[in-house]
Protein backbone atom coordinates (compact mmCIF):
# COMPACT_ATOMS: atom_id res chain seq x y z
CA UNK A 1 0.00 0.00 0.00
CA UNK A 2 1.25 3.46 -0.87
CA UNK A 3 0.90 6.44 1.42
CA UNK A 4 -1.31 9.21 0.08
CA UNK A 5 0.02 12.79 -0.15
CA UNK A 6 3.55 11.41 -0.17
CA UNK A 7 6.63 12.02 -2.28
CA UNK A 8 8.68 8.86 -2.88
CA UNK A 9 12.35 9.55 -3.77
CA UNK A 10 13.30 6.46 -5.74
CA UNK A 11 16.83 5.36 -6.70
CA UNK A 12 17.19 3.81 -10.16
CA UNK A 13 20.10 1.88 -11.78
CA UNK A 14 23.42 3.52 -12.80
CA UNK A 15 23.83 1.21 -15.79
CA UNK A 16 22.58 -2.34 -15.39
CA UNK A 17 18.80 -2.04 -15.62
CA UNK A 18 18.30 -4.92 -13.19
CA UNK A 19 19.89 -2.93 -10.35
CA UNK A 20 16.54 -1.74 -9.07
CA UNK A 21 14.83 -2.90 -5.90
CA UNK A 22 11.54 -4.79 -5.74
CA UNK A 23 10.21 -1.99 -3.55
CA UNK A 24 11.22 0.65 -6.14
CA UNK A 25 9.34 -1.24 -8.87
CA UNK A 26 6.36 -1.60 -6.57
CA UNK A 27 6.25 2.12 -5.82
CA UNK A 28 6.87 3.21 -9.43
CA UNK A 29 4.09 0.93 -10.62
CA UNK A 30 1.56 2.36 -8.17
CA UNK A 31 2.14 6.12 -7.77
CA UNK A 32 -0.20 8.59 -9.50
CA UNK A 33 2.68 10.48 -11.15
CA UNK A 34 6.40 10.07 -11.73
CA UNK A 35 8.60 13.16 -11.97
CA UNK A 36 11.64 12.24 -14.07
CA UNK A 37 14.68 14.10 -15.35
CA UNK A 38 14.28 12.62 -18.84
CA UNK A 39 10.88 11.01 -19.14
CA UNK A 40 11.83 8.83 -22.12
CA UNK A 41 14.86 7.31 -20.37
CA UNK A 42 12.82 6.42 -17.31
CA UNK A 43 9.94 5.09 -19.43
CA UNK A 44 12.44 2.76 -21.09
CA UNK A 45 13.64 1.54 -17.68
CA UNK A 46 10.11 0.84 -16.50
CA UNK A 47 9.13 -0.81 -19.78
CA UNK A 48 11.92 -3.35 -19.26
CA UNK A 49 10.19 -4.19 -15.97
CA UNK A 50 6.74 -4.31 -17.62
CA UNK A 51 5.49 -1.06 -16.05
CA UNK A 52 3.79 1.13 -18.64
CA UNK A 53 0.73 2.67 -17.11
CA UNK A 54 1.90 5.69 -15.18
CA UNK A 55 1.65 9.45 -15.72
CA UNK A 56 4.83 11.44 -16.10
CA UNK A 57 6.14 14.95 -15.64
CA UNK A 58 9.57 16.25 -16.59
CA UNK A 59 11.59 17.66 -13.69
CA UNK A 60 15.16 18.83 -14.27
CA UNK A 61 17.58 21.39 -12.86
CA UNK A 62 16.13 24.23 -14.97
CA UNK A 63 12.45 23.77 -14.07
CA UNK A 64 12.60 22.13 -10.64
CA UNK A 65 11.13 25.08 -8.71
CA UNK A 66 8.15 25.52 -11.07
CA UNK A 67 7.40 21.81 -11.33
CA UNK A 68 7.64 21.48 -7.56
CA UNK A 69 4.66 23.85 -7.28
CA UNK A 70 2.62 21.57 -9.56
CA UNK A 71 3.60 18.52 -7.57
CA UNK A 72 2.54 20.22 -4.33
CA UNK A 73 -0.89 20.84 -5.82
CA UNK A 74 -1.17 17.13 -6.60
CA UNK A 75 -0.11 16.17 -3.08
CA UNK A 76 -2.73 18.63 -1.76
CA UNK A 77 -5.35 16.64 -3.64
CA UNK A 78 -4.29 13.34 -2.05
CA UNK A 79 -2.11 11.97 -4.86
CA UNK A 80 1.20 10.18 -4.43
CA UNK A 81 4.23 11.13 -6.52
CA UNK A 82 7.62 9.51 -7.20
CA UNK A 83 10.82 11.34 -8.09
CA UNK A 84 13.48 9.61 -10.20
CA UNK A 85 16.54 10.91 -12.02
CA UNK A 86 18.40 9.52 -15.02
CA UNK A 87 20.65 7.35 -12.90
CA UNK A 88 21.21 6.51 -9.29
CA UNK A 89 19.89 8.36 -6.28
CA UNK A 90 17.98 11.64 -6.75
CA UNK A 91 19.51 14.63 -4.97
CA UNK A 92 23.06 13.28 -5.26
CA UNK A 93 24.67 15.48 -7.96
CA UNK A 94 21.16 15.43 -9.39
CA UNK A 95 17.92 17.43 -8.98
CA UNK A 96 15.69 16.70 -6.02
CA UNK A 97 16.67 18.97 -3.13
CA UNK A 98 14.30 21.84 -4.07
CA UNK A 99 11.30 19.54 -4.44
CA UNK A 100 12.09 17.63 -1.25
CA UNK A 101 12.44 20.86 0.77
CA UNK A 102 9.14 22.21 -0.52
CA UNK A 103 7.26 18.97 0.17
CA UNK A 104 8.71 18.72 3.67
CA UNK A 105 7.90 22.38 4.32
CA UNK A 106 4.25 21.64 3.52
CA UNK A 107 4.31 18.82 6.05
CA UNK A 108 3.87 15.96 3.57
CA UNK A 109 5.95 12.79 3.95
CA UNK A 110 9.08 12.36 1.86
CA UNK A 111 9.86 8.65 1.65
CA UNK A 112 13.27 7.50 0.36
CA UNK A 113 13.46 4.25 -1.59
CA UNK A 114 17.21 3.48 -1.58
CA UNK A 115 19.25 1.87 -4.32
CA UNK A 116 22.16 2.47 -6.67
CA UNK A 117 24.63 5.32 -6.24
CA UNK A 118 27.82 5.59 -8.30
CA UNK A 119 30.02 6.90 -5.45
CA UNK A 120 29.06 4.17 -3.00
CA UNK A 121 29.25 1.52 -5.73
CA UNK A 122 32.84 2.63 -6.53
CA UNK A 123 33.85 2.69 -2.85
CA UNK A 124 32.48 -0.79 -2.31
CA UNK A 125 34.81 -2.30 -4.90
CA UNK A 126 37.90 -0.13 -4.41
CA UNK A 127 39.33 -1.78 -1.30
CA UNK A 128 40.23 1.50 0.35
CA UNK A 129 41.30 0.98 3.97
CA UNK A 130 40.53 4.51 5.18
CA UNK A 131 36.99 4.27 6.58
CA UNK A 132 36.36 8.02 6.15
CA UNK A 133 35.43 9.62 2.86
CA UNK A 134 34.20 12.95 1.60
CA UNK A 135 31.83 13.01 -1.35
CA UNK A 136 32.44 16.13 -3.44
CA UNK A 137 30.64 15.36 -6.71
CA UNK A 138 31.51 17.42 -9.80
CA UNK A 139 34.47 19.80 -9.64
CA UNK A 140 34.26 23.14 -11.49
CA UNK A 141 34.61 22.75 -15.26
CA UNK A 142 37.34 25.41 -15.63
CA UNK A 143 40.87 24.44 -14.67
CA UNK A 144 41.63 27.57 -12.61
CA UNK A 145 38.55 27.20 -10.42
CA UNK A 146 39.03 23.44 -10.22
CA UNK A 147 42.58 23.78 -8.93
CA UNK A 148 41.51 26.43 -6.43
CA UNK A 149 38.88 24.03 -5.13
CA UNK A 150 41.32 21.11 -5.00
CA UNK A 151 43.83 23.20 -3.01
CA UNK A 152 41.24 23.64 -0.26
CA UNK A 153 41.18 19.82 0.09
CA UNK A 154 44.97 19.25 0.13
CA UNK A 155 45.19 18.45 3.80
CA UNK A 156 41.92 16.51 4.22
CA UNK A 157 42.71 13.09 5.66
CA UNK A 158 39.67 11.47 3.97
CA UNK A 159 39.29 9.69 0.64
CA UNK A 160 37.94 12.34 -1.74
CA UNK A 161 35.19 11.22 -4.13
CA UNK A 162 34.57 13.07 -7.39
CA UNK A 163 32.31 12.59 -10.38
CA UNK A 164 33.77 13.47 -13.78
CA UNK A 165 32.70 13.58 -17.40
CA UNK A 166 34.76 11.89 -20.14
CA UNK A 167 35.70 15.12 -21.94
CA UNK A 168 37.34 16.50 -18.77
CA UNK A 169 38.84 13.34 -17.30
CA UNK A 170 42.43 13.91 -18.47
CA UNK A 171 42.64 17.57 -17.55
CA UNK A 172 40.98 16.89 -14.20
CA UNK A 173 43.56 14.24 -13.24
CA UNK A 174 46.37 16.47 -14.55
CA UNK A 175 45.15 19.22 -12.20
CA UNK A 176 45.02 16.76 -9.30
CA UNK A 177 48.60 15.77 -10.05
CA UNK A 178 49.66 19.40 -9.96
CA UNK A 179 47.88 20.11 -6.68
CA UNK A 180 48.48 16.87 -4.74
CA UNK A 181 51.84 15.76 -6.16
CA UNK A 182 52.50 12.49 -8.02
CA UNK A 183 52.25 10.00 -5.15
CA UNK A 184 48.64 10.14 -3.95
CA UNK A 185 46.70 7.01 -4.88
CA UNK A 186 43.81 7.38 -7.31
CA UNK A 187 41.19 4.72 -8.01
CA UNK A 188 39.27 5.29 -11.19
CA UNK A 189 35.88 3.56 -11.49
CA UNK A 190 34.54 3.72 -15.02
CA UNK A 191 31.24 2.57 -16.49
CA UNK A 192 30.17 0.81 -13.29
CA UNK A 193 27.68 -2.03 -13.78
CA UNK A 194 28.01 -1.69 -17.57
CA UNK A 195 29.73 -3.68 -20.32
CA UNK A 196 33.06 -1.85 -20.11
CA UNK A 197 33.21 -1.58 -16.33
CA UNK A 198 36.81 -0.87 -15.27
CA UNK A 199 38.26 -0.27 -11.84
CA UNK A 200 41.90 0.73 -11.91
CA UNK A 201 44.19 2.11 -9.22
CA UNK A 202 47.67 3.58 -9.02
CA UNK A 203 49.45 6.78 -8.13
CA UNK A 204 48.09 9.91 -9.80
CA UNK A 205 50.98 9.83 -12.25
CA UNK A 206 50.49 6.14 -13.06
CA UNK A 207 46.75 6.52 -13.62
CA UNK A 208 47.24 9.56 -15.86
CA UNK A 209 49.84 7.70 -17.94
CA UNK A 210 47.54 4.65 -18.17
CA UNK A 211 44.60 6.76 -19.36
CA UNK A 212 46.69 8.68 -21.87
CA UNK A 213 47.93 5.42 -23.35
CA UNK A 214 44.43 4.14 -24.16
CA UNK A 215 41.73 6.39 -25.62
CA UNK A 216 39.08 3.73 -24.92
CA UNK A 217 39.66 4.14 -21.18
CA UNK A 218 38.81 7.84 -21.50
CA UNK A 219 35.22 7.10 -22.53
CA UNK A 220 32.12 6.76 -20.39
CA UNK A 221 31.22 7.81 -16.87
CA UNK A 222 33.74 8.14 -14.06
CA UNK A 223 34.01 8.13 -10.31
CA UNK A 224 37.41 9.21 -8.97
CA UNK A 225 38.54 8.15 -5.50
CA UNK A 226 41.60 10.08 -4.37
CA UNK A 227 43.40 8.98 -1.22
CA UNK A 228 43.43 11.50 1.60
CA UNK A 229 46.42 13.30 3.08
CA UNK A 230 48.57 11.28 5.41
CA UNK A 231 48.46 13.12 8.69
CA UNK A 232 51.90 13.18 10.22
CA UNK A 233 52.03 12.82 13.97
CA UNK A 234 53.36 16.07 15.43
CA UNK A 235 56.30 14.24 16.94
CA UNK A 236 57.19 12.67 13.55
CA UNK A 237 59.15 15.72 12.51
CA UNK A 238 61.70 17.38 14.73
CA UNK A 239 61.42 21.10 15.44
CA UNK A 240 64.81 21.54 13.80
CA UNK A 241 63.65 19.89 10.54
CA UNK A 242 60.46 21.92 10.57
CA UNK A 243 62.49 25.10 11.01
CA UNK A 244 64.83 24.12 8.15
CA UNK A 245 61.86 23.41 5.88
CA UNK A 246 60.23 26.75 6.66
CA UNK A 247 63.48 28.62 5.90
CA UNK A 248 64.07 26.74 2.65
CA UNK A 249 60.45 27.12 1.52
CA UNK A 250 60.90 30.88 1.75
CA UNK A 251 63.77 30.73 -0.77
CA UNK A 252 63.23 27.66 -2.97
CA UNK A 253 60.51 25.86 -4.94
CA UNK A 254 58.57 23.36 -2.80
CA UNK A 255 60.09 20.15 -4.19
CA UNK A 256 63.66 21.40 -3.80
CA UNK A 257 63.01 22.65 -0.27
CA UNK A 258 61.60 19.24 0.70
CA UNK A 259 64.51 17.36 -0.90
CA UNK A 260 67.14 19.46 0.85
CA UNK A 261 65.37 19.31 4.21
CA UNK A 262 65.19 15.53 3.92
CA UNK A 263 68.92 15.37 3.16
CA UNK A 264 69.87 17.72 5.98
CA UNK A 265 67.57 16.28 8.63
CA UNK A 266 67.22 12.63 7.62
CA UNK A 267 63.43 12.96 8.05
CA UNK A 268 60.93 11.10 5.85
CA UNK A 269 60.54 12.88 2.49
CA UNK A 270 56.84 12.03 2.13
CA UNK A 271 56.03 13.44 5.55
CA UNK A 272 58.06 16.57 4.80
CA UNK A 273 56.27 16.94 1.47
CA UNK A 274 52.87 16.88 3.16
CA UNK A 275 54.07 19.33 5.80
CA UNK A 276 55.34 21.63 3.05
CA UNK A 277 51.92 21.50 1.32
CA UNK A 278 50.18 22.26 4.62
CA UNK A 279 52.54 25.13 5.39
CA UNK A 280 52.05 26.54 1.92
CA UNK A 281 48.24 26.22 2.11
CA UNK A 282 48.25 27.90 5.54
CA UNK A 283 50.51 30.65 4.17
CA UNK A 284 48.36 31.16 1.03
CA UNK A 285 45.16 31.39 3.00
CA UNK A 286 46.61 33.56 5.75
N1 LIG B 1 22.60 10.54 -8.87
C2 LIG B 1 23.71 9.77 -9.39
C3 LIG B 1 24.23 8.85 -8.28
O4 LIG B 1 23.49 8.56 -7.35
O5 LIG B 1 25.37 8.39 -8.37
C6 LIG B 1 24.75 10.67 -9.99
C7 LIG B 1 24.26 11.47 -11.15
S8 LIG B 1 25.45 12.53 -11.84
C9 LIG B 1 24.46 13.57 -12.85
C10 LIG B 1 26.19 11.54 -13.07
C11 LIG B 1 27.65 11.23 -12.73
O12 LIG B 1 27.71 10.13 -11.82
C13 LIG B 1 28.45 10.78 -13.94
O14 LIG B 1 28.97 11.88 -14.66
C15 LIG B 1 29.54 9.96 -13.30
O16 LIG B 1 30.54 10.78 -12.77
C17 LIG B 1 28.79 9.29 -12.16
N18 LIG B 1 28.23 8.01 -12.64
C19 LIG B 1 26.93 7.72 -12.88
N20 LIG B 1 26.80 6.46 -13.32
C21 LIG B 1 28.05 5.94 -13.36
C22 LIG B 1 28.59 4.68 -13.73
N23 LIG B 1 27.80 3.71 -14.19
N24 LIG B 1 29.92 4.49 -13.63
C25 LIG B 1 30.73 5.47 -13.18
N26 LIG B 1 30.28 6.68 -12.82
C27 LIG B 1 28.97 6.92 -12.91
pLDDT digits (tens, 9 = 90+) for 78-111: 999 999 999 999 999 999 999 999 999 999 999 9
C-alpha 191 – ligand 1 centre gap (Å): 9
Residue 112 shares a structural domain with residue 123? no
Among 34, 17, 32, which residue's Cα sits nearest to residue 88? 17
Give me the helices (H) in 49-152, please.
Answer: 64-76, 97-105, 118-124, 143-151
> What distance in angstroms lies between residue 221's CA and the mean position of ligand 1's atoms?
6
Average of per-residue pLDDT across 35-42: 96
Read off the pLDDT of each residue in 190-209 and give the average, rounded to a whole number: 98
Query: Which pLDDT belongs to residue 165?
Result: 97
Ligand 1 centroid from CA 15, angstroms: 9
Does the C-beta of 169 come closer than 6 Å to ligand 1?
A: no
Per-residue model confidence as pLDDT tens digits over 159-183: 999 999 999 999 999 999 999 999 9
pTM of the full structure: 0.83
pLDDT of residue 285: 53
Give the range of the structural domain holding residue 195, as residue numbers without chain letter.
Answer: 119-226
Does residue 109 sit in the same domain as residue 193?
A: no
pLDDT of residue 235: 58
Q: Are residues 107 and 132 in the same domain?
A: no
Residues 6+ apart with CB under 8 A from 68: 59, 98, 99, 102, 103
Band of residue 284 on the pLDDT scale cut at 50, 70, 90:
low
Q: Would 1 be classed as within a structural domain?
A: no
Amino acid sequence: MLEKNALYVVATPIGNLRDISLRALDVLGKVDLIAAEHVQNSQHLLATHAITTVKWISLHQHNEAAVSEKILTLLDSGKSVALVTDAGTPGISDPGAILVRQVRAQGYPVIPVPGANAAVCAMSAAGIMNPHFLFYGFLPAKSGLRKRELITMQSYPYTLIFYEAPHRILECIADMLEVFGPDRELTIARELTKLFETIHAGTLQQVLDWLQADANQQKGEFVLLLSGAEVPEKSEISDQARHTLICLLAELPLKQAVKLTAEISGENKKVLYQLALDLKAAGDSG
